[in-house]
Structure 1
Amino acid sequence: MDGILPLWKPKGMTSHDCVMKIRRLFGTRKVGHTGTLDPEVEGVLPICIGQATKIVQFLTETKKIYVAELTLGTSTETEDAYGNIVEEVTVEKIPSLQEIENVLQSFVGEIKQVPPMYSAVKVNGKKLYEYARANETVDRPVRKVFIHDINLLSTEEKSITFRVTCSKGTYIRTLCVDIGEELGYPAHMSFLVREATGEITKEDTITFEEIESASADKRHEFLLPITNGLTHLDTLQVDTETKQKVLNGQKLIKPKIITDTKPFKVMHGERILAIYAVHPNKEQEIKPIRVFSDS
């Protein structure tokens, strides 16, 4: 059983909880998720099963789309609605729609973020939330992320709802705090839902209720092809003779159409054979990064 389960993660479960439950429901240990969602957040969480676990790192690196709500006037330890309040002020003047639009657009492009103390980012081998829980302070690394698109959806009293398309590693909690700061107020993220990971969207998803109501021998029908998680990679089509070399994990002469060292998928017709990249030490060769067994 190989493929991507387009799970709609419910609130109240960690991403690891979802993996454990899917292992039980699908009767396999070869299961991996493609980007952590906090327990309080629901949304698209592609789960790789069987040979699809070989593409976890590539699917994790894709763009994400979120709908978020930020609330002005209050900041919290965790930068979301579940942490202790750090600062609270009266929002005497709600920013105008034009002011909000201008600030949102100022975040489009490459930006720098300081990850929240309550996050899994490691510093000196220890997760930031471990320092936070021990009331220890530590210098947090500045990270560069990319905001592809951000659009205002609605405003209501002190809240602002927007949709954002962003790179891997973007903390939406921190984005909400930074937007609030630009608008002149402390702020926190009061709601978040993930609408898409790469090309896998909310419309593609399956709930645990749907999985559990299906018979065990029908659950494989919920899986998407492995290639659905690799649409962002270029494709190299090979003939039947080369197909066997690829399945054997052989290095190949670099085709003229390959011009850089980015990973690309190797296909024989509609079938995914492997993920290759230009050899780091031999520019005229390509080498396998992942090979999918012949089944």
Structure 2
Amino acid sequence: MPEYNGLLPLFKPRGMTSHDCVFRLRKMLGFRKIGHTGTLDPAVDGVLVLCLGKATKIAQYLLDFSKVYRGVIRLGSSTTTEDASGDVIARRAVEKRFDRTEIEQVMHAFVGEIEQSAPMYSAVKVNGKKLYEYARAGIDVTPPVRKATIYQFELDSEEASFSTDLPFIVMSSKGTYIRTLAVAVGEKLGYPAHLHQMTRIQAGPFSVSDCFNFEEIEQLIESNQFTQALRPLEHGLSLMDRWVVGKELSAKIAHGAVLEAPADFGVGPHAVFNEQNECLAIYRLHPKKPGMIKPDKVLANDAMV
């Protein structure tokens, strides 16, 4: 069986779940150790980073990076799923045009930390059962409320006024429901609304321009050049705080040593690199020993120290 290690920035097509993409790639490569780094709804296309082999060890950290989306909010109708795939549950004709400034004020009001109720048509579990299972069975249940952070939310158009469709671009934290955000914008404007269409254009350090589609991947596999599509796991950690160490510390870190924290060591996780730019481990502050740091994940092998 072939062995692959690295990150694959995939352009996920619409109509496929994130798991569908993993399943398809496993079948294409004949390789099972593949995972993804953040679920995309079937109706959404765009950047989906897949982890292969040893790179699966850092999937949890890639989930924490912010994401950027480009899409369209449609005013005038709301749906069961909060996007275009659901049944329409409310309509109101939009008989006016909104001034650009009015839309911008509404969008800017969501920037910062917000609270959202999980959509009923989502895989979030309540009492061990997914919300969409309750929704399909017609059972009322209170969805959990989650906090999210909106870093940027603005119009993706230079038009002076808008009617039914509001093109937007948003940068948000993990766990943000953009569908729910679209509905909330409509409520602020006095109209039912839903997410008409959306593309994820960036996930952490990966953008659309980095991505390969399935047709391109198939061509690379047929020409025995698939590894050209893989990025080293170090690239996936390029946005994380970085700590470079010499050979002596490299050996200790490779064995998972608890160490004294450097003076400038921050609160979040740090990617620890040797002088050859290879990531040895992920370290964070020790929860029980002030002034010390401990490994969160050791990635080093004998050849790296």
Q: What range is the shorter-chain TM-score in?
A: over 0.9
Residue in structure 2 matching 1:51, options 47, 54, 68: 54
Equivalent residue letter for 1:171: Y
Residue in structure 1 matching 2:122, options 119, 122, 127: 119
Provide the residue aligned with 1:70 in structure 2. 73
Q: Is 2:131 aligned against 1:131?
A: no
User: Does the Cα contact within 8 Å between 2:98 and 2:163 map onto a contact in 1?
Assistant: no
Provide the residue aligned with 1:222 in structure 2. 229
User: Does the Cα contact within 8 Å between 1:64 and 1:194 map onto a contact in 2?
Assistant: yes
Residue in structure 2 matching 1:9, options 5, 9, 12: 12
Alignment partner of 1:215: what SS?
Answer: helix
Q: Is 2:213 aligned against 1:207?
A: yes
Distance in 2 (CA, whole Å) between partners of 1:37 and 1:81 is 15
- Please state how far the C-alpha of 1:256 moved relative to its aligned partner: 2.3
- Please state how far the C-alpha of 1:259 moved relative to its aligned partner: 4.2
Deviations 1:107-137 (A, max 9, x none): 1111111111001112222211111111111
Distance verdict in 2 for CA 1:180–1:235, change over 3 Å = same
Q: How many residues align?
A: 294
Alignment partner of 2:225: what SS?
Answer: helix
User: Does the Cα contact within 8 Å between 1:26 and 1:219 map onto a contact in 2?
Assistant: no
Q: Is 2:255 aligned against 1:248?
A: yes
Distance in 2 (CA, whole Å) between partners of 1:265 and 1:259 is 12
Identical-pair percentage: 48
Distance in 1 (CA, whole Å) between partners of 2:292 and 2:66 is 29
Equivalent residue letter for 1:90: A
Provide the residue aligned with 1:288 in structure 2. 295
Distance in 2 (CA, whole Å) between partners of 1:94 and 1:116 is 29
Gap regions ≥5 residues in structure 2: none
Q: Is 2:143 aligned against 1:160?
A: no
Deviations 1:166-220 (A, max 9, x none): 1101111001000011011000111010000011001111111111011363111
Q: Is 2:151 aligned against 1:148?
A: yes
Distance in 2 (CA, whole Å) between partners of 1:159 and 1:232 is 34
Deviations 1:89-122 (A, max 9, x none): 1112232222111111111111111111001112
Distance in 1 (CA, whole Å) between partners of 2:266 and 2:50 is 31
- Please state how far the C-alpha of 1:45 moved relative to its aligned partner: 0.2
